[in-house]
Chains A and B, each alone.
Chain A
Amino acid sequence: MPNFFKLVYKDFLLLIRDKGGLAMLFLMPAALVLIMTYLQDNTFRSINESGIRLVLLNQDNDSLGIIIERQLEKSNIFNISKTIGHKQPTGEMVEKAVASGDYQIGIIIPEHATKTIRKNVKYNVALAFAGIPADPKKCDSVRFTIFIDPTTKTSFRTTLLGSIREFSAKVENEITLNEITQEVNKRVILPVSNLGLAGKGAVYYREEYAAAGIHKIIPNSVQHNVPAWMLFAMFFIVIPFAGNMIKEREEGNLARLLTMPCSYSTVLLSKIIVYLIVCLLQFILILFMGMYLFPHINLPALVIGGTWIVLMLMGLASALAAVGYGIAIGTIAQSHQQASVFASISIMILAAIGGIWVPVFAMPPIMRHLSVLSPLNWGLNGFYDIFIRNAGFMTILPNCIWLLLFFGFCLALSVYFNRIKREFI
């Protein structure tokens, strides 16, 4: 046992003497998570369809205008503004505001929109009851103007137009039913009550996030970027770790250690412990950045959905997978250069297919299938479970098991390469 502690002490000393390596281990991921979260925040807000800046000029001030305004507010998708620079806007001002990028959407509800609909309906219903076909040319149309910033997603644009059509159809239906009621009452002895749709529609849609627990957490850029770059940082230790192993081998120190009362597994274990601690420190650093730093720089705060114990277990499993990968590369690679090139490229690929750069849900279907091959994806899914779905131990267990199996596989591979390929006793 004393030799084990000496080895841990040695690996710790080697680590802290390598200032550049230390900076890469802590400053690089901290900078990455900060920059990437900041960069992707708007994209994520857009994906989440929240906080879209909308300027509304309601010139109707009747049923249709009021309903559209109310429904837009209710959707929680938009930051609605009814003034531009504290002034009641004109149509021209709305167009300019969207064109200059101050707003993503501008909606102008025209004057007398409800009145026009009412007039059209009255004309159509009266003719229908008189048995005369209506002449569409005699109906005025209501013209909505919607200005859309070119960067706004097509899918979102379609949804918005669909919703406005739905709102106006609802108003049109109400008015139609009202007119029909009045016409019917002119013809029957016992008057019928208003045929209007009271309260909710016949079909009611209830939307809920499929998450356990009472809190509904909407995924945001922080909840993606914090675990994503945390995992990336953990796996990036493969480069200094493998480098340390190769250097130790090339300098003849590993051979020297193996001639002493010290087995190869003890040498590996000491490295695992030291780099595991490094990974966990990275994990805590980035976690705390998400929780305490981000809210001060206008980013959403990281909300831990599950319990801390579950979170730490997930962190530990991810760290072990990263350390295992480092051991495997450090053992198999023939030179420092080979290890660093292979490690950096393979981590980039694993990160890309694992959903670190672009979240898996935004990937093409084939890449979504491939993503399950990346240990970074297992880790990311585990953290998503905790941050977004309030997961407990049983939920994260499958991803933890995959990560631990990956660690075991890497460890077995490195032992094989040492015993068989290098012909050690």
Chain B
Amino acid sequence: MTTNGIAIDIQNLTKFYRGNTKPALDHISLSVSENAIFGLLGPNGAGKTTTIKILCGLLALTGGEVTIGGYSLVHDFKKIRRIIGVVPQDIALYPTLTARENLSIFGGIHGLKGKHLSHRIDELLQVFGLEKSQNTQVRRYSGGMKRRINLIVGLLHNPHILFLDEPTVGVDVQSKNVILDNLLAINKSGTTIIYTSHYLEEAENICSRIAIIDEGRIVTEGTPKELVRSNQSFTNLEDVYLHLTGKKLRD
């Protein structure tokens, strides 16, 4: 795995959905450095989820080149699967299984087994404050607890690169703080994080770099400070965002 300090390299990424003449992604180019927390922000339908889905191997790209961890997305996806972790926006857990059963199954699929898997589960359950309810079926969990388990699944195998699609949506302040604090800790330990969110303040606080995407194109990219300083009238990231994407409602 040779990365030259680049965790993800995207060149001219284009995606047309079948039957659509307008591209969902229009020649996107991005580079995400190793150890970065990279925020991908944009209004609904801008192309964030399409980008994440392509990077995670869930959608085929129409054009362009993508390298993740030094591996080609098109040719080496089997290798990419082993180094990435994905935390989807939906709670992707089996509700009739307990938290521990869910973690044991997903961990096992990542190749963890025996005591190593068991210790890793214990460790993460403790970090996210879920050790007492580990044997409860997930359907009985609160929204915040489900979010935390959803995140743990993506962290079980210590991924090099972690994709997070709105990890804090719909959770209470306590759960949100636990999630964000731990994301910062995970990043410090060497994991690159690609993060999408509608919470601009949250993104401004935790992201080392941000790209704003609209109508399938990257409209700006930089550190949060660089983006805010790009125009004297901007006081925060929300100003930058509204200036670039407009105030028109999106579907």
Listed in ascending order, the chain A residues whose CB lies under 8 Å from chain B are: 2-3, 5-7, 9-10, 13-14, 17-18, 251-253, 255-262, 423-425
- The CB with the most chain A CB atoms within 10 A, among B53, B77, B105, is that of B105
Instruction: Kindly list chain B residues whose C-beta atoms are within 8 Å of the C-beta of A17.
Output: 96-97, 137
Give bound CA distance, A256 to B56, whole Å.
Answer: 9
Q: Across the two chains, which residue of chain A brings its CB closest to B18?
A: A423
Most B Cβ at <10 Å: residue of A2, A10, A14, A256: A256
Name the CB-closest residue of A to B80: A259
Q: Complex formed: what's the CA distance from A158 to B111 in Å?
A: 74
CA distance A259 to B54 in the complex (A): 10
Q: Scoring B residues 71 to 104 as 1 if CB is less than 8 Å from chain A, else 0, what string do you get?
A: 0001001100110101010111111110001001
A9: nearest residue on chain B (CB-CB)? B105
Flag if A7 contacts B57 (CB, 8 Å).
Answer: no
30 A-B contacts, Cβ less than 8 Å apart? A2-B111, A2-B113, A3-B109, A3-B111, A6-B105, A6-B108, A7-B109, A9-B105, A13-B97, A14-B94, A14-B97, A251-B91, A255-B58, A256-B86, A256-B92, A258-B57, A259-B57, A259-B58, A259-B86, A260-B81, A261-B81, A261-B110, A262-B109, A423-B17, A423-B59, A423-B60, A424-B58, A425-B57, A425-B58, A425-B59
Main secondary structure of the interface of A (DSSP, over half): helix
A425 touches B78 (CB 8 A): no
- Docked-complex contact A261 and B57, CB < 8 angstroms: no
B116 to A: closest C-beta gap in Å:
12
Q: Looking at A9, A252, A256, A260, which has the most chain B CB atoms within 10 Å of its CB?
A: A260
Query: B153 at interface (Cβ–Cβ under 8 A)?
Result: yes
C-alpha gap A255/B81 in the complex (Å): 12
Nearest B residue to A10, CB-CB: B105
Instruction: Name the interface size band of chain B.
Output: 35 or more
| B141 at interface, CB cutoff 8 A | no
Q: Does B128 contact A (CB under 8 A)?
A: no
Name the 10 nearest CB pairs between A and B, nearest first.
A252-B92, A6-B108, A252-B90, A17-B96, A256-B92, A259-B86, A3-B109, A259-B56, A10-B105, A261-B81
The CA of A14 and the CA of B74, in the complex, are separated in Å by 33
C-alpha gap A17/B60 in the complex (Å): 35
Is B58 touching A251 in the complex (CB atoms < 8 A)? no
| Contact yes or no, B96 A259, CB < 8 A | no
Which B residues lie within 8 Å of A13 (CB)? 94, 96-97, 101
Chain A residues positioned under 8 Å from B93 (CB to CB): 251, 253
Nearest-Cβ distance from residue B65 to partner chain A, whole angstroms: 14
| Contacting residues, chain A, for B94 (C-beta < 8 A) | 10, 13-14, 251, 253
CA distance in complex: A252, B105 (Å): 15
**Bound form: Cα–Cα A261–B81 in Å:** 5
Residue pair B108, A2 in contact (C-beta under 8 Å): yes
Beta-carbon contact of A251 and B81 below 8 Å: no
Q: Inside 8 A of B17's CB, which chain A residues have their CB?
A: 423
- Asked if B92 and A251 make an inter-chain contact with CB atoms under 8 angstroms apart, the answer reads yes
Interface centre among B58, B60, B82, B137 (most CB of A within 10 A): B58
The answer to whether B101 touches A260 (Cβ under 8 A) is no
- Please tell me if the beta carbons of A252 and B88 are within 8 angstroms of each other in the complex: yes
Task: Give the distance to chain A from B165, nearest Cβ to Cβ, in Å.
Answer: 10
Chain A residue numbers with a CB within 8 Å of B57 are: 258-259, 425
Is B60 touching A259 in the complex (CB atoms < 8 A)?
no
In whole angstroms, how far apart are the Cα atoms of A260 and B56 in the complex? 9
Known: A256-B86, A257-B109. 6 other contacts (CB 8 A): A7-B109, A14-B94, A256-B88, A258-B57, A261-B82, A425-B60
Whether A18 contacts B111 by the Cβ 8 Å rule is: no
Report which of B81, B97, B105, B137 forms a contact with A259, defined as CB distance below 8 A. Answer: B81
B81 — which chain A residues lie within 8 A by C-beta?
Answer: 259-262
- Let me know if B92 and A253 touch, CB within 8 A: yes
Interface centre among B56, B78, B101, B109 (most CB of A within 10 A): B109
Neighbouring A residues of B97 by C-beta, 8 Å? 10, 13-14, 17
Smallest distance from the beta carbon of B34 to chain A beta carbons, Å? 20
Closest to B92 in A: A252
- The distance in angstroms between the C-alpha atoms of A425 and B18, with both chains bound, is 14
